[in-house]
Structure formats: structure tokens, C-alpha cells
Amino acid sequence: MPPAPAKGDSEKQRLLNEVEEQVGKCRRCGLRQGCTNVVFGEGNPDAQIVFVGEAPGEEEDRQGRPFVGRAGELLTKQINAMGVQRSDIYIANVCKCRPPGNRAPLADEVEPCREHLLLQLRIIRPKVIITLGNPATHALLNTTVGITRLRGQWQKMPDTDPDLAGIKVMPTFHPAYLLRAYTEDNRRKVWSDLQEVMKEVGLKR
């Protein structure tokens, strides 16, 4: 796994650093009390593509970085297959603190962190957001439709947030799901979704 990218001096990075400092002080839910590290996010503040997952797992909590466990290894392979590096894109989670036992975050845990995530996205202003799994997709699209129905179909950020309205969203399966149900069909589905994103941002493979 590559080392965490150094924090840059760009205006976007400065603003992200300020949000990260705010997140470190957040006590709006009980997750901060039980986690080791806040996992804010990392990558290129000028990224065209942002990957959004659910919440940190055990290894992420230990290192304070997103997607560095087994699911992160698979995500890194997927990113590399797109012809880019982790340092070229941005990776974050809806929740910044690990839920106990890696359980799914509760609604009152998602909402405060969702606001932090929206601040990150407003600063980065990516061309495409890739939501990984149900929690991330539901949180950003304000929907209850399942990922199996939404994956592979372009969506847009809701008009309720004028700063993000219209940004294209590609829902796809979370890499942790692929590890649990790694079939050729599921692998092809995710690769097809990523290829659509590649076309949208002008990546060629």
C-alpha cells in the first residue's frame, strides 16, 4: 500500500485541512469515543474522481487512512486498472470514525458525518463521484433504492445542495462485497461501471 500523500499547499488542500481539523474535534455522535483514529480522507484535492465508501474498518481505524485493509487493496487494484494511481483521485467515507465491530453506521451517526463529507466534496468539486455500496449511495443521493438496482446507472447529486447539484454519481458495489461474493459476473459489473467513469473523465485504457 502506498504511503499517505503529503498535504499540499494549494487553496483546496488548505480548506480540506481546516475541515479535517473540525472533524477531529467533532463529538456529535458516540463513534469518536470508541475509535482509535479519525479517518478523514486522502488524495488529490483537484481530483476529477472521488470514491466514497461507508466507514472505516479495523485497519483503517488503526492507520487513520481510508481503504487500507483487504477491501482497500482491491480498490487500489481497481483504481490502477483505470490507468490512475490513488494519489490521482480522492478517497473518503461517509462516516469518519469506525463503528463498533464494523457494524453499519446508524442514521444518527451518518448525518453529522455526511455534513463533513459534503464539505469535502464542495471543496474538491470532482467531475464524478463513485459511491461504493448502499450506505454511501443512500447518503449522497438521498434514496432508499438498493445498490443492485442503481449500480451502473448514472445518477446526479440532488438539487438540494446547489454547490454540488448535477455532479454525476456512479453507484457500484463496495469492494468488501466483492471479497464476500467474488464472482466473474460481479467483477465484470464493477469493471463496466468503472469503464463508464473512465469515458466520462476522458481516461483511455
> Domain count of the chain?
1
Print the domain residue range for 133. 11-199
Query: Within a domain: residue 43?
Result: yes
Query: Within a domain: residue 205?
Result: no
Here the CATH number for the domain that contains residue 152 is 3.40.470.10
pTM of the model: 0.93
Query: Within a domain: residue 65?
Result: yes
- Long-range residue pairs from 11-17, CB within 8 A, at least 24 positions apart, any chain: 12/45, 12/46, 12/123, 12/124, 13/45, 15/123, 16/41, 16/45, 16/120, 16/123, 16/124
Whole-angstrom distance, CA of residue 8 vs CA of residue 47:
13
CB neighbours (10 Å) of residue 83?
A: 11
Query: Within a domain: residue 94?
Result: yes
Query: Within a domain: residue 32?
Result: yes
CB neighbours (10 Å) of residue 192?
A: 12
pLDDT tens string, the chain, 205 residues long: the values are: 444 444 455 899 999 999 999 999 999 998 999 899 999 999 999 999 999 999 999 999 999 999 999 999 999 999 999 999 999 999 999 999 999 998 989 989 999 999 999 999 999 999 999 999 999 999 999 999 999 999 999 999 999 889 999 999 999 999 999 999 989 999 999 999 999 999 999 998 6
